[in-house]
C-alpha cells in the first residue's frame, strides 16, 4: 500500500517537517530503507545514520533536527513506527478461516467465533478458547485450560501440561496428580516453544495483555499480573506471584514461592532468589538492586588486581614483622651484654 507522508503523519499522529506529497509504500530500518520506505529513530546512538540513510522519511522525537530528509516528529517514535507498519503492511493474512481440517478439537471443548486454528493444533477436553484467537501449528492445549479473547499462541507451545510436582520418599519421586488448570486472560501473546504448566491445585494465571517470548517456562500455580513482558528463555518456578507491568529480560530465573511487586524490571540472566518490592530494578545472579549490583560488579571486575595488591601487602607485613623480630632480638642481646659487663 502506498500513502503520502501527509496521510501517514495524520495516521500516526506526527508533525511532518518536509514534503508531504512524497509517497511511501513500505517500512524498513535506517541502514536498509530505500527511497520509497519510511524508517524510524528512537535510540539516540543511531542518530548518525540520518546522514547516510536512503529512507524517504524518518519517524523521530521532536528534538531531532535534520535538513536532508523529511521528518515525522512524535513523542513516541517506536509506537508511531508500529502504527506506520500496520498502515503500510497490515497484519498477517491467514490462509484459512476457522478450524483447519488437520487440527483436532475435542467434542467437549469450545472455540469462540473468529478464532483460527492452524494444522496440528490440539484442543483437549473441556478446554475453552475465546473469540478472535490465533493458534499456530502444533500448539497443544490440555484439558480444562481456559483461554480468553484475542490471544495469539505461536507454533509448538504447550499449555496445561502437568506441573513438576513430586513427593520424594526414600529416594523415590512419587508423582503428585496436578488437578488444577491454566487460565490465559485476554490479549495475551505467547511465543514459540513455551510451556505453561497447570497448577497442582487451583490455577496458573497469565494476566491480561501480558506478552511472553519464545522458550519460556512457567511453573505450576504461578500467577503473572497484567501487562507483563517475559522475554526469551525465562524460567519461572511454581507458586510465584508476579505483579502488573513486570519485565523479565532474557534468561531470567525465578525461584519458587516468591512474590514480585508491580512495575519491576529484571536485567538479563538475573537469578531471583528473594521477594522483590514494587518499583524496583534488579540485575545479576543472585539478583540485587541495580544500584548495589553496579557497585558489586565494578569491584568484581577488579578482583585479579585486588588479589595481587593483597598479596603484596601481606608480603610487606611479613617483611616488617621479620624486621621487628630481628630488632627485638638485637636489643635483648645488647641489654644482656651490658648487664654482664
Q: How many CA atoms lie within 13 A of 340 on its CB side?
A: 5
β-bridge partners, 116: 134
CA distances from 188 to 86, 147, 239 (A): 19, 9, 20
Report which secondary-structure segment, H or E, holds 217: strand 217-218
Whether residue 220 lies in the annotated active site: yes
Q: How many CA atoms lie within 13 A of 175 on its CB side?
A: 5
In 3-state terms, the chain is what percent helix, strand and coil (to 5)?
25, 25, 50
Considering the candidates 100, 220, 244, 257, report the single residue annotated as catalytic: 220
Find out whether 152 and 134 touch, Cβ atoms under 8 Å: yes
Residue from 241, 246, 205 nearest 227 by CA? 246
β-bridge partners, 229: 211, 247
Separation of first and last alpha carbons in the chain: 114
Give SS3 for 265: strand
Strand order in the sheet with 203-206: 110-111, 128-129, 146-147, 181-184, 203-206, 223-224, 241-242, 259-260
Positions annotated as catalytic residues are 220
Amino acid at each position: 500500500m502506498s500513502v503520502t507522508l501527509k496521510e501517514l503523519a495524520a495516521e500516526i499522529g506526527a508533525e511532518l517537517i518536509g514534503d508531504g506529497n512524497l509517497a511511501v509504500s513500505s517500512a524498513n530500518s535506517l541502514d536498509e530503507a530505500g527511497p520509497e520506505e519510511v524508517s524510524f529513530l528512537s535510540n539516540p546512538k543511531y542518530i548518525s545514520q540520518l546522514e547516510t540513510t536512503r529512507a524517504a522519511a524518518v519517524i523521530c522525537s521532536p528534538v531531532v533536527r535534520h535538513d536532508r530528509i523529511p521528518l515525522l516528529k512524535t513523542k513516541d517514535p517506536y509506537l508511531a513506527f508500529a502504527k506506520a507498519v500496520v498502515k503500510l503492511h497490515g497484519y498477517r493474512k491467514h490462509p484459512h478461516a476457522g478450524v483447519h481440517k488437520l487440527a483436532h478439537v475435542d467434542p467437549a471443548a469450545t472455540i469462540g467465533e473468529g478464532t483460527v486454528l492452524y494444522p496440528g493444533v490440539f484442543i483437549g477436553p473441556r478446554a475453552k478458547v475465546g473469540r478472535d484467537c490465533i493458534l499456530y501449528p502444533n500448539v497443544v492445549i490440555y484439558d480444562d485450560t481456559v483461554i480468553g479473547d484475542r490471544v495469539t499462541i505461536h507454533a509448538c507451545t504447550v499449555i496445561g501440561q502437568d506441573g513438576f510436582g513430586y513427593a520424594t520418599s526414600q529416594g523415590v519421586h512419587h508423582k503428585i496428580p496436578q488437578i488444577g488448570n491454566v487460565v490465559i486472560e485476554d490479549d495475551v501473546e505467547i511465543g514459540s516453544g513455551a510451556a505453561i504448566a497447570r497448577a497442582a491445585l487451583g490455577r496458573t494465571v497469565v494476566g491480561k495483555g501480558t506478552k511472553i517470548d519464545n522458550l519460556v517456562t512457567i511453573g505450576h500455580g504461578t500467577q503473572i499480573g497484567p501487562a507483563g513482558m517475559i522475554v526469551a528463555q525465562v524460567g519461572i518456578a511454581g507458586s510465584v506471584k508476579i505483579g502488573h507491568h513486570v519485565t523479565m529480560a532474557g534468561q531470567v530465573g525465578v525461584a519458587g514461592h516468591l512474590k514480585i511487586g508491580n512495575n519491576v524490571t529484571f536485567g538479563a540472566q538475573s537469578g531471583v532468589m528473594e521477594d522483590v518490592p514494587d518499583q524496583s530494578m534488579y540485575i545479576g545472579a543472585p539478583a540485587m538492586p541495580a544500584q548495589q549490583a553496579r557497585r558489586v560488579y565494578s569491584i568484581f571486575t577488579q578482583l585479579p588486581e585486588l588479589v595481587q595488591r593483597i598479596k603484596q601487602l601481606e608480603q610487606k607485613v611479613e617483611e616488617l614483622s621479620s624486621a621487628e623480630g630481628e630488632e627485638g632480638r638485637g636489643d635483648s642481646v645488647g641489654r644482656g651484654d651490658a648487664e654482664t659487663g
